[in-house]
């Protein structure tokens, strides 16, 4: 099976780095940061910055630039691997599944993270969005992955913690498996059309091996 994994909230807990970079960007623009930044993890940055910046395109782009400047130096290292993920990935690899990452992070930020992970070499490819896009491109990236690997929809799954992952799976006719240790809720994942929900990484490996 082709197993497509989200990165943030699925393989790694990236909240410290992401939220620090958001606060840095808003501070540069003298805009107070919201108290709760967890909902920002998953959607495109421009989508989240826009309401706080009066939908001023120039200020939104400035915020995105400030975010990326800090992330490239510090933010990409400010994360932790979820307990049990390494064992689940190794189990899937040993079972012969093909693994790839489909993330909302630009490849320039996601690549060094993946390379630094102890199990990063288990993933054959990495897919990220156009850095200039204000839209979620999960569906497009999943379609590209299916084409690249020559995988039939019935033999592929997208694994992630937010509705964008599941909606991208549904759009391509593949299984969407939600994980409950990330940043999305059970309700969000179910409403998006998740075929199954994984309680923990070992449960996820069970679902994908069934």
Residues labelled catalytic:
6
Alpha-carbon span 188 to 50, nearest angstrom: 22
SS3 of 174-210: the string is: CEEEEECCCCCCHHHHHHHCCCEEECCHHHHHHHHHC
The alpha-helical segments, DSSP class H, found in the chain are 15-28, 45-52, 57-73, 85-94, 107-116, 138-149, 163-171, 186-192, 201-209
Q: How distant is the alpha carbon of residue 169 from its chain centre?
A: 13
CA pseudo-torsion sign 44, 13, 109, 162? negative
Please report where in the chains the tokens 């993330």 appear, as a residue: 103
Q: Count CA atoms closer than 13 A to 102's CA, side-chain side.
A: 30
3-state secondary structure of 107: helix
Place of tokens 């240790």: 181
Give the closest residue to 61 by CA, choosing from 50, 52, 70, 71. Answer: 50
């Amino acid at each position: 099976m082709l197993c497509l994994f989200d990165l943030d909230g699925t393989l790694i807990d990236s909240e410290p780095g992401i939220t620090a970079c958001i606060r840095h960007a808003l501070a540069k623009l003298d805009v107070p940061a919201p108290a709760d930044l967890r909902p920002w993890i998953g959607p495109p940055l421009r989508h989240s910055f826009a309401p706080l910046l009066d939908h001023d395109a120039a200020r939104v782009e400035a915020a995105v630039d400030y975010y990326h400047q800090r992330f490239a130096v510090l933010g990409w290292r400010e994360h932790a691997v979820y307990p049990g993920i390494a064992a689940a990935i190794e189990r899937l690899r040993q079972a012969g599944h093909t693994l790839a990452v489909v993330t909302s992070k630009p490849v320039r930020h996601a690549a060094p993270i993946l390379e630094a992970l102890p199990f990063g070499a288990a993933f054959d490819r990495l897919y990220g969005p156009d850095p200039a896009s204000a839209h979620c491109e999960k569906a497009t990236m999943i379609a590209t992955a299916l084409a690249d690997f020559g995988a039939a929809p019935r033999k592929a799954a997208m694994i992630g913690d937010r509705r964008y992952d599941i909606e991208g799976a549904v759009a391509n006719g593949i299984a969407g498996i939600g994980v409950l240790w990330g940043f999305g809720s059970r309700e969000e994942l179910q409403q998006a059309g998740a075929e199954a929900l994984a309680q923990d990484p070992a449960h996820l490996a069970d679902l994908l091996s069934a």
